[in-house]
Amino acid sequence: MHKNTLLYNFTFSIILILLCQHTNAQNVGIGTATPMEKLHISGNVQIDGLASADTNVVLSNFDGKLINLNTGATGQVLTSQGAGRAPIWAAAGASTPIQDKIHFLALTGAPSVVCSSVSAGSLTLLTHTFTPVNDTVIFNFSSEGRVSGASLAPQSHTYVFRVILNGVNYRQTYAHVVHNGAGSVATGFVPANFSMPMPVNVGLANTIQVQILTLFTVSGTLTLTYDTSAFTQYATSTIYDFKTN
């Protein structure tokens, strides 16, 4: 028999023997010749997908995928929330886990924003900072501002409401109104109502902002005001921090 054929058969036999040594009743072993489970690793394991800037607690989700738990604050301890719920970071010594919450914020003062045919404007209406106990919250927002402008020609106008989550634009919605000036003082109201689910960082401070952006007017100058001393002008946000799955 040709020597190359002998070498090939010898090499194949060695590989087959090594594979047999690392399987036992369909178990697979890495670094062990006698695997005791479906996958038995003798030594350290490195998973690049779990790498981060912090040292984290690793959990398995409902699909069996390994995931990192967000790093808790100094002095917090990992606390069970019971069956079917992920553990959370809570204050040390707490007798019971933190339960679901409602976070509420109402506007104070009388902020305003001005726009005209030569300039647009922006206004951060609400800044809501909170610490959630779940990884998803429902954010509800309601407002009604008063718009006014002297000697304003009839025109339609759109206001953009931008939702910013932890410094990143998350979503935006619009309020469209028609201003009827006809050469006299034009007044009207800009209502806005929306609700949306938002992913958040559990056990850490999160910030949701609502920013208003105006567009240019056809002519004249508009001022949008939220005067909370007036009964009809307001802005509120409610965060429903409930478990969603």
Identify the pLDDT of residue 20.
Answer: 53
Sequence-ordered list of residues with C-beta below 8 angstroms from that of 6, at least 6 positions apart, any chain: none
To the nearest whole percent, how much of the chain has pLDDT over 70?
Answer: 77
Task: Provide CB contacts within 8 A for 16, sequence distance 6+.
Answer: none
Low-confidence winner among 1-10, 45-54, 130-139, 187-196 (lowest mean pLDDT): 1-10
pLDDT band with cut points at 50, 70 and 90 for residue 17: low
How many angstroms separate the Cα of 15 from the Cα of each of 1, 3, 4, 20? 21, 19, 17, 9
Q: Which two tokens stand for residue 139?
A: 């954010």
**Can you tell me the mean pLDDT for 62-89?**
73
Distance in angstroms (rounded) separating the CA atoms of residues 128 and 236: 10
The topology (CATH level 3) of 102-241 is Jelly Rolls (2.60.120)
Q: Tell me what pLDDT residue 204 has.
A: 87
Q: What is the pLDDT of residues 173-205, one digit of tens each?
A: 988 877 766 545 457 788 999 999 999 988 889
Query: Which pLDDT score, from 0 to 100, does residue 96 have?
Result: 47
Give dist(CA 236, CA 139) in Å, integer.
Answer: 11
Please state whether beta strands 27-30 and 39-41 pair in parallel, antiparallel, or not at all (unpaired): parallel
Give me the pLDDT at residue 180, please: 66
In this prediction, residue 21 has a pLDDT band, given cuts at 50, 70 and 90, of low
CA 107 – CA 111 distance, rounded (Å): 9
What is the pLDDT at residue 181? 60
What's the start-to-end Cα distance of the chain, in Å? 67
What are the structural domain ranges in the chain?
Answer: 1-45, 51-98, 102-241
| Tens-digit pLDDT profile for residues 109-137 | 999 999 888 888 999 999 999 988 888 89
| pLDDT for 134 | 85
Per-residue confidence (pLDDT) for residue 9, from 0 to 100: 55
